[in-house]
Structure 1
Amino acid sequence: MPNDHHSSTRPSEASPPADPVPSPPEAAAPWYRRAFADLSPLRDHADYRRVWVGQAVSSIGQQMTAVAVSVQVYDLTHSAFATGVVGLFSFVPLIAFGLYGGVIADRVDRRKLGLIGAAGLALVSAVLAVQAIAGLGQVAVLYAAVAAQACFFALSSPARSAMIPRLVPSHQLPAANALNTVSMNLGMTVGPMLGGLLIGAYGVQSAFLVDTVAFTGTLYAMWRLPTMRPLGEGKARASVLDGLRFLREQPNLRTSFLADLAAMIFGLPRSLFPAIAVTFYGGDARTVGLLVSAPAVGALIGALFSGWVARIHRQGVAVLAAVAAWGLAIATFGLLHNLWLGLLLLALAGCADTVSMIFRSTMMQVAAPDEMRGRLQGIFMVVVVGGPRLGDFESGAVAALTSPATSVITGGLACVAAVLLLAARRPAFLTYDARHPTP
């Protein structure tokens, strides 16, 4: 690993970039160009461009590995339960280490932490490839590798997210977050498809090997970054409790977190998709696959056509409107039992989720001081990981007491009701202005 004596190809320390007013040619671009994702962060900032490309490639590789692990566990055990346990070995470390990854990101050089995380993930993928080639056939090894992956990801992800405001100026943060959503959803859509093709043709070891190689992009991007020590004072005393106290005392950021939780707990019926496939459509496993992929496809489309987000300054209104649109789309999905219309509604929900994510991430990056961003990103990770699991429980419990349709409809409406409650309890959130951000 490189030390702090960087080569002359990299600056010695990163500071927030200047924030000039967007150039007139950008503002005067034709409407059809402005509708697409704004590529200016990629064009204007080489460090961000390298990080984005590296993350996009490694995200595809990680999704390939996720498919390969599930396939190998099932081949070894022929047990759906054993395959499901893979998620548990990933979930627990993500929750346990996510918060502390944020603390570490607010204490140390974030570039170095990103390097360690990428190197660790590459090493785990290499171990998976070796065990597959050697034919060890040990499920325990796969479970341990999944847990190690989750640990490295949880420790380094807050640092990578906290870097973004140091790589692009604040007026380009909405565009940068939209592009990050593109890379994430590319991984979720392209990765499983490529993984399935590779595994079918060359075995699970091929997916593991490709994933190992894919991390070279992220490693190179992190190597080229300047030093990114947290700004501000008190880094040595950074703690999880400080992050939670900060969030409690900052009503706008807290409201954005609560809006996201409402969407995931009440409006995410993914645990019901197998039952819905049968009871709504008379379908099978292929129908379940379509239902699972539809929100990701909508999210990707929403990110690709996100050129308008930089022109929205009332970002609090945008977050609540997007979460309400998610809830309405889910409730309507529960009412109308036509497959293609259902897939369209799920895609619309995914698109709304992308809009919410872009603005929530931008608010967190701009309104929070640099020395708190790692801890807030760690809390955000716990919300993103834990919220859907709570949603699985909520939707499953309501479906057991009533029916899958009732669970979906009431969940979507509860999401909308939560948005209205947040707007009533926190009217200042509706006046949040990105030009004058306040946490």
Structure 2
Amino acid sequence: MGKIKKHILSIMIISITSQMYLMLFTNGFAVSAGIITFFIIYYFYRDLNSIITGVFSGILVCLLRVLVSMVYGGNFLPGLISHFPETFFYIVIGVSLSFFMKKGFFDNLGKVFLAAFITDILANGTEMFIRNKIGIIILDYNIMGTLTLVALSRAFIVWIILNALKYYRLLLVNKENAEKYKKFLMISSGLKTEIYLMEKNMDYIEKVMAEAYNLYEKISSNEEKDTWKENAINIAKNIHEIKKDYSLVLHGLKDVTEIGISEENMYYHDITNIIEDGIKKLIKGENIDGKIETQLGENFLTSSHFYLISIFRNLLVNSVDAIANRKNGKIQFIHESNENNHIFKIIDNGTGISEKDLEYIFSPGFSTKIDYNTGNINRGLGLSIAQDIAENKLNGSIKVFSELNTGTMFKIEIPRTSLEVKE
């Protein structure tokens, strides 16, 4: 669903639920469920513009209230004067939501409760201030005390609903995990078969190597010329057999990895949780003085979860290595989006990459990670794999920006059409 449709649907839902209200005071002041709906919608759809939604929801709520009052015999102008302050109630909610989202309050349900409470107080306070200024209502301590209790109640309802949805989702995930465990057993058994074939091929390879070396010695010493042709043919035959066996292994591995997962999709937030948990464990296991911070952004359904996990893991592991010898190391994992693309940024304050190395970092085999104590060198395939998947599998791009001794940023941009599937 496009952003415009999501905005329209959100505005309609908020406006309709706002008609579920209680009249606490006189002169049209209503306490509704609109703010509860507003928070729940934006908890799950954080890519939407809450300010736009607030403005149009406020206007529509006001018009609906006026229309309802006219149905019951009221007049348009008095109804408009009575209800137009509610427009500012929803505008303040939109602005407040935008602020709290940027500050990361929506990554923790305790902070969501606090944000909902503060937002409710600000929105109601603004509406009451306007009503007081135009002479509709007179403010006193009793009214403000009641509004504080209302704000606490609605914030608590938001917290309860989001927790209930969270635990319901966990139940579904646990059920899915049980099914995935069964599939994992099937995959494991299939992999063992392919490993057996690969081990068998190792014997063939050693045999071919021995035959090839034997032929080399004969040619070098110019001996047994009459056997050269037969030896060469045997080597070619054995290589052909090895190739056939490895073709079968490759075919088998493809079948194994597609057992029960070819039609499965994942939400981006679930992918992020898996990756974040793994990186946190890696940082802790390596005793690194560092942390990872995530900005989830839009939640979308994708069938390319394995590709995304591979890209993110390779880049994030690279960032973990970069902050390994730093104090207060920090990795930021950010998701943004626009009309056409998903944009992922992985930023660290690690050692950085020298300018002369930047043009080579995506080359297979290139690595600056050398253990001078053991002489071991990293394979240098992680960044190359990430680039290949991003560009050739997902039709996207990957760029790197780095400054030595300051830090590095990887920016991955992938078209929505390459990632998203319909729910």
Q: Tell me whether the two structures share a fold, i.e. TM-score over 0.5.
A: no
- Larger helix fraction of residues: 1
| Structure number having the greater strand percentage | 2
TM (normalized to structure 2)? 0.24
Question: If the length of structure 1 is used for normalisation, what is the TM-score?
Answer: 0.23
Higher relative contact order (CA 8 A, sep 6+): 1
